[in-house]
Structure 1
Amino acid sequence: MTNFRDITLADTWFDTSSEGVEIAVRLPTYRSVPLSCVVFQHLEIDGTDLDLTAAVLVVGGEEYRVADMPSRHDVQWFVGDTGLLRVASGGSRFEGLRSVRLVIGMRMPPYIFWEKPGDICDAEKIMWGRSVEARDAGAVVESDIRLGTSLYSYSPELQAGMSLSELLRQIKAHGIGPGVEVVGHQTFRNFPDIASEEIAMFRDALAENALELVAVDGFADIGVRTDRPLDFAETVEMLSRQVEATAALGAPLLKAQYTVEPEVFLALIPIAKKHGVRIGVEIHAPQSVDDPTIRTLIDVFTASGEGWLGFVPDTGASVSGIPEAFLEAYRRKGINETIIQFVADAWATARAEGRDQVAERTAIESAAQAHPQGGDEAAAFAYRAFHWFGYQQPERWAELGDLIFHVHGKVFANDPAGQGDLSVPNRDIFDTLRSVGYRGFVCSEYEGWQWLESESWPPNDLAAVAEQHRVWGELAQSPALAGSEA
Structure 2
Amino acid sequence: MTSATGPQVGVTLYSFTNEWLSRQFDLPGLLHEVAKRGLGPNIEIIGFQSLKEFPDISDDFAARFKDLIAETGLNPTSLAINSDRFLKPGQQPIDDATLVEYHKRQLRSAAKLGFPVARSQFALPVHLLPEIAPYAEELGIVMGVEVHAPMWAGHPAVQAYGEMYDKLNSPALGWIPDFGGTASRIPASMLDAARRAGAKESLLDMLKEIWLEPGMSHEKAGKLREKALADGHAPAHIQAASLAFFILANNDPKSWAALVDRTVHIHGKFYGVDDDGVEEAIDYETILPLFRDGGFTGTIVSEWEGHAYDTRDAFEQVRRHQAMCRRILAS
Q: TM-score, normalised by structure 2?
A: 0.93
Q: Which amino acid aligns with 2:321?
A: Q
The one-letter code of the counterpart of 1:180 is I
Judge conservation of contact 1:287–1:357 (CA < 8 Å) in 2. Answer: no
Cα shift readout 1:47-93 (whole Å, capped 9, x = no counterpart): xxxxxxxxxxxxxxxxxxxxxxxxxxxxxxxxxxxxxxxxxxxxxxx
Match of 2:262 among 400, 403, 424: 403
Amino acid at match of 1:407: I
User: Match for 2:313: what amino acid?
Assistant: N
Q: Pick from 179, 192, 195: which aligns with 2:58?
A: 195
The counterpart of 2:159, out of the listed 276, 295, 310, is 295
Q: 1:167 to 1:418 in 2, by over 3 A?
A: farther
Runs (5+) with no aligned partner, structure 2: none
- Per-residue CA deviations over 1:204-261 (Å, capped at 9, x if unaligned) read 2222222100000000120124342110100000000011000001011111110121
Question: Which sections of structure 1, spanning at least 5 residues, go unmatched?
Answer: 1-141, 480-486
**Cα distance change of structure 1 residues 368 and 298 upon mapping to structure 2, 3 Å threshold:** farther
The 1-side partners of 2:164 and 2:50 are apart by: 32
Deviations 1:383-402 (A, max 9, x none): 32111111111110111132
1:195-344 matches, cutoff 5 A = 195-225=58-88, 226-344=90-208
C-alpha displacement of 1:347 = 1.7
Matched, 1:434 2:292: yes
Q: What is the distance in 1 between the residues matched to 2:101 and 2:121?
A: 15
Deviation at 1:426, TM superposition (A): 1.0
Correspondence 1:467 to 2:320:
yes
Q: AA paired with 1:473?
A: R
- CA separation in 2, counterparts of 1:476 and 1:266? 36
Distance across 2 between alignment mates of 1:420 and 1:164 = 30
Aligned pairs, number: 326
Provide the C-alpha distance between the structure 2 equivalents of 1:155 and 1:341, rounded to a whole number of angstroms.
Answer: 30
Deviations 1:255-276 (CA, angstroms, capped at 9, x unpaired): 1110121122221112101111
Aligned positions of 1:349-428 closer than 5 A: 350=213, 354-370=214-230, 372-415=231-274, 417-428=275-286
Deviation at 1:449, TM superposition (A): 2.2
Give yes or no for contact 1:145–1:442 (8 Å, CA) kept in 2. yes
Which letter does structure 1 place at the counterpart of 2:298? G
8 Å CA contact 2:45, 2:78 repeated in 1? yes
- Gap change, CA 1:420 and 1:168, over 3 Å in 2: farther
Q: Determine which of 143, 146, 152 is the counterpart of 2:14.
A: 152
CA contact (8 A) 2:194 2:237 kept: no
Q: Secondary structure at the match of 1:311?
A: strand
* SS of residue in 2 equivalent to 1:373: coil
CA RMSD of aligned residues (A): 1.8
For residues 227 and 279 of structure 1, the distance between their equivalents in structure 2, rounded to whole angstroms, comes to 27
Point out the more displaced range, 238-247 or 197-206. 197-206
Query: CA offset at residue 382 of structure 1?
Result: 4.3
- Residue identity opposite 1:316 in structure 2: G
Check the 8 A contact 1:365/1:382 in 2, yes or no: no
Contact 1:368–1:382 (8 Å) recurs in 2: no
The answer as to 2:302 corresponding to 1:444 is: yes
TM-score, normalised with respect to structure 1: 0.64
- One-letter amino acid matched to 2:272: A
Partner of 1:321: helix, strand, or coil?
coil
Bigger RCO (CA 8 Å, 6+ sep): 2
Taking only the aligned residue pairs, the percentage that are identical comes to 26
